[in-house]
């Protein structure tokens, strides 16, 4: 088991040894593929090299109502379940995550892989929910858990606008449990992931209070929905602290709070334009609370 990592000037290059559909003749892939990552254990030689691109656009807000997702998740049609599973992960509520776990319990190995992969679409990625799949009898399910963790680490390193911080305690616990009782080649691959995680620990910001976490989620949602345009000078953590202070100082009224947020956001460094009106801000404020 090997992780191929090639040095680059500004990007970590990851080699995909999988059988990619839709590859161009020169071996490259189109922009519709949001990431190319080599996963340990692939038997084929490396074929495609591409600079890593964060998958934040995959973590968009759900487009399907939760009630529809709950209904489709119980369908006997796998295609219907597939769409519902991804949307449930994007909803991310306790009810939605409970239905995801129910889908995994009722389904076969492919369903469980789909559920694990869907958990990687959550914002934040719920690493704690992945742990229950480490004891799965099917190796492809266990590998899916490690793959989602790997992607979460990559997103944390490369995506400056990621709303979620990396829960390193859970990540280390997953890697430790995943290596127990495995053969040497599996342990070698997990050791490389552990070494990578060691290098990310210093990047993890100090724990924020609940208000700052709420403000961070609000700003990330505004960006995801195209309601906030920012440039390279935008600092999410500093912006979250400023917005949290504005929320704290405003009156306990949705309209007043939304106005305070708008006044604060437009003056933040790196903000190009705020397209959200007070109604949109109040809606997102409620959705992220």
pLDDT band, residue 197 (cuts 50/70/90): confident
HEC states along the chain? Answer: CCCCEECCCCCCEEEECCCCCCCCCCCCCCCCCCCCCCCCCCCCCCCEEEECCCCHHHCCCCCCCHHHHHHHHCCCCHHHHHHHHHHHHHHCCHHHHHHHHHHHHHCCHHHHHHHHHHHCCCCCCCHHHHHHHCCCCCHHHHHHHHHHHHHHHHHHHHCCCCCCCCCHHHHHHHHHHHHCCCCHHHHHHHHHHHHHHHHHHHHCCCCCCHHHHHHHHHHHHHHHCCCEEECCCCCHHHHHHHHHHHHHHCCCCHHHHHHHHHHHHCCCCCEEEECCCHHHHHHHHHHCC
pLDDT tens for each residue of 240-251 = 889 888 888 876
Position 3 pLDDT exceeds 50: no
The pTM score is 0.56
**pLDDT score at 278:** 83
* Residue bearing the bigger pLDDT, 30 or 164: 164
pLDDT tens for each residue of 129-188 = 888 899 899 988 988 898 888 888 877 776 655 545 678 888 999 998 888 777 777 788
């Amino acid at each position: 088991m090997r992780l191929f990592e090639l040095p680059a000037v500004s990007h970590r290059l990851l080699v995909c040894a999988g059988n990619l559909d839709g590859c161009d003749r020169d071996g490259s892939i189109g922009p519709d593929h949001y990431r190319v990552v080599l996963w340990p254990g692939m038997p084929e030689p490396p074929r495609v090299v591409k600079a890593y691109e964060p998958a934040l656009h995959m973590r968009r807000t759900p487009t399907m109502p939760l009630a529809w997702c709950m209904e489709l998740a119980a369908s006997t049609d796998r295609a219907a379940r597939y769409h519902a599973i991804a949307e449930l992960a994007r909803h991310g509520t306790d009810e939605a995550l409970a239905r995801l776990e129910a889908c995994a319990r009722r389904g076969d190995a492919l369903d469980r892989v789909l559920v694990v992969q869907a958990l990687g679409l959550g914002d934040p990625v719920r690493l704690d929910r992945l742990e229950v799949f480490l004891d799965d009898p099917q190796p492809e399910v266990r590998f899916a858990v490690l793959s989602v963790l790997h992607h979460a680490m990559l997103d944390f390193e490369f995506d400056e606008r990621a709303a979620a911080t990396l829960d390193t305690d859970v990540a280390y616990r997953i890697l430790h449990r995943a290596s127990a009782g495995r053969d040497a080649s599996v342990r070698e691959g997990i050791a490389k992931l552990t070494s990578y995680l060691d290098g990310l620990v210093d990047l993890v910001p100090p724990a924020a209070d609940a208000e700052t976490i709420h403000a961070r989620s609000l700003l990330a949602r505004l960006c995801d929905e195209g309601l906030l345009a920012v440039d390279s000078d935008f600092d999410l953590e500093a912006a979250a602290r400023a917005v949290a202070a504005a929320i704290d100082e405003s009156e306990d009224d949705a309209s007043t709070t939304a106005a305070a947020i708008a006044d604060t956001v437009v003056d933040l460094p790196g903000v190009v334009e705020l397209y959200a009106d007070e109604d949109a801000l109040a809606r997102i404020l409620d959705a992220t609370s």
